[in-house]
Structure 1
Amino acid sequence: MFIYNITTKVDTAIHDAWLQWMLDVHIPEVLGTGCFEKHQLVRIREIDDSDGPTYAIQYYAAGKALYNRYIQQYAPALQLEVRKTWGDSIVSFNSLMEVVN
């Protein structure tokens, strides 16, 4: 099992709209690719939230081939949509994790 993790710092001014968009639009689009079995969206705590909260969205892929398919076929367009929608109001970084146990 592989976990594609995207950690995002969200500007306070757009927080509510961003969160609703993630729940209603973006997460369903990513899951709609068929590359991931499930997801979880978590808010990171015990960090400085004075300029906005930080979230991590985790998408679970059954194998590396499904993750690679997502990255090659779907991620570029979906990432462009994120940039067009939110611009500099969010800052994100991605990581890939493999479940060991």
Structure 2
Amino acid sequence: MYIYNTTFCLEDSALDDWKSWLDEQYIPMMTADGSFSDVRIFRVLAENAGDSFSISVQFSVEALVNVQRWQKDKEQQLALDVTRRFGTKVLYFSTVLEVLV
């Protein structure tokens, strides 16, 4: 079992639009083929964040091959969509976590 984690760094001014995008586009895109499930969303606690903050969006995924397929087929689409919609107001990075316990 793996967790596909994407941490989004947002300016305060982008929050409402980002929430709508998350619910209407990102989560449906990630879960469309059934490979990713059990979405969990966390706020990253950080001191001195200023007028921005970070949110971690995590999905469970059974097999690493599903992550690799998503990266090959959809990752570029996500990058274009985020850049087109938010410019530099929303930045992100993704990591894959292996569940040990």
Fold in common (TM above 0.5) = yes
Higher strand share: 2
The number of aligned residues is 101
Structure 1 stretches lacking a partner, 5+ long:
none
CA distance in 1, matches of 2:32, 2:72: 15
**Matched-pair contact (CA < 8 Å) for 1:33–1:74:** no
CA distance in 1, matches of 2:18, 2:34: 23
Structure 2 stretches lacking a partner, 5+ long:
none
Match of 1:96 in 2: 96
**Matched-pair contact (CA < 8 Å) for 2:11–2:51:** yes
CA distance in 2, matches of 1:48, 1:24: 31
SS state of the match for residue 37, structure 1? strand
RMSD (CA atoms): 1.5
% same residue: 23
CA distance in 2, matches of 1:26, 1:7: 13
Match of 1:17 in 2: 17
